[in-house]
Amino acid sequence: MQEKEAIDALVIGAGPAGLMAAEAMAQAGRSVVICDAKPSPARKFLMAGKSGLNLMNAAPLPRQIATYGAASDWLAPMLHAFGPDQIRDWATGLGQELFTGSSGRIFPRTMKASPLLRAWLARLEGQGVSLRRNWRWTGDEFAFATPHGPRILAPNVTVLALGGASWARLGSDGAWSAHLSARGIPLAPFQPANMGFHIAWSPHMAPHFGQPIKGARLHAGSQSLRAEFVISQRGVEGGGIYALSRALREGATLTLDLFPDLSLPEISARIARQPRKLSTANRLRRALRLEGARQALVMECARPLPATPDAWAAQLKSLTLPLQGPHPMDEAISTAGGIPRAACDARLMLTQWPGVFAAGEMLDWEAPTGGYLLTASLATGHWAGRHAAEF
């Protein structure tokens, strides 16, 4: 039998939650080893930051907590302990100047993830944290496949931070779920979150692929928000769609109010004033400045085409988009499902595996984009790491 290497504290997974758990344990005096299956850490974090690292949100904390829906009361103490204020101090402590955008999203001044990550890894190294790259957990207790052959660790305490089940090429492949299921730990099925949805567009929509739809109010079930989204070759995606993705995934109909600042009678009157000899497209353009991608979307989805100004107004205030299901889970920004609240105690320790804690997207919570995903990953990582250090 292979000899086990005794270590003090182990973190499996070197994403934001795992790195934060390692830092919390190191600050508490524990000697920490991080094992990650990839040759470099935090790959999804770096990819998410390519278009600007949205670190957190400027909304008041109670409103932020509410965005986590059914998981709000579960995550609330963790967000109070290490929420936006603490994350701001943490980032500035790593030399990252932050700014708040017009949408309330908070970014590093550099807009990139790599300077923050480099500073963070350097600080962790200075705290004595050891990072072992290309160490893939095989699920047999703490056995790993490594570049030097199989290795087995014997930690005093462990934090699992292996991510969700999207972006497998970056390390979040959900393979860990089989390891936990084999130990009898109940799991919620993975589902895509913050993803686009398929629509079978007709050929006339092709010139508008990649175009944003701005100024509309989107409705799905009991949810409603004013937000932008994008027409893509395969359907629709973008912030407005992501914010409603849970309701849409569960079968809600997506409708658009393309003129949320105009009433039905006003829209109808504007259309009625246009000469009837004009084509429908020209009447709508002249009455409402409806053109380009917005007009194409209306002509695509308002079938059959309305015959009267009142009917057109009703369509423009409640245009149904014919969604055909979500894009594949591996294309989703995040996932729902994983380790449910019932499988953990208040410290995020697995009730069926004493001494093993979990953090980040492994846990069954979901949130829209806008800084909330990263905030909860850091908050749960800090919470799990702090309690693991005390175990």
| Per-residue pLDDT band at 140 (split at 50, 70, 90) | confident
What pLDDT does residue 269 have?
97
What is the mean pLDDT of the segment spanning 280-296? 95
Q: Is the pLDDT of residue 51 over 90?
A: no
5-192+337-390 has which CATH code? 3.50.50.60
Residues 359-365, mean pLDDT to the nearest whole number = 97
Kindly provide the residue ranges of all beta strands, DSSP E only, lying in the chain, ordered along the sequence.
5-12, 32-35, 56-57, 98-100, 105-108, 130-132, 136-137, 143-146, 149-160, 188-193, 197-198, 212-213, 217-220, 223-226, 229-232, 235-237, 254-257, 319-321, 334-338, 356-358
Q: What is the mean pLDDT of the chain?
A: 96
pLDDT at 2: 77
Query: Once rounded to an integer, what is the mean pLDDT over residues 119-130?
Result: 98
Length of the chain: 391
| Range 322-351 average pLDDT | 96
Which pLDDT tens digit goes with each residue over 176-221? Answer: 999 999 999 999 999 999 999 999 999 999 999 999 999 999 999 9
Q: Residue 48 — pLDDT band, cuts 50, 70, 90? A: confident
Band (88; pLDDT cuts 50, 70, 90): very high
Question: SS3 of 156, please?
Answer: strand
The predicted pLDDT at position 10 comes to 98
Q: Averaged over 370-388, what is the pLDDT?
A: 97
How far, in Å, CA of 377 to CA of 360, rounded?
Answer: 4
Residue 364, amino acid: D
Q: For residue 96, give every residue at least 6 positions away whose Cβ sits within 8 Å of its Cβ, in sequence order, or none.
A: 108, 109, 110, 115, 116, 119
- CA atoms of 379 and 85, how far apart (whole Å): 11
Average pLDDT value for residue range 340-349: 98
For position 49, what pLDDT does the model report?
73
Arithmetic mean of pLDDT, 19-35: 98
Q: Residue 325's CB: how many other CB atoms inside 10 A?
A: 12
Spell out the domain ranges in the chain: 5-192+337-390, 197-321
pLDDT above 90 as % of the chain? 93
> What's the pLDDT at 1?
61
Instruction: Average the pLDDT over 73-88 and give the result.
Output: 98
pLDDT of residue 202: 97
The answer to whether 55 and 98 have CB atoms below 8 angstroms apart is yes
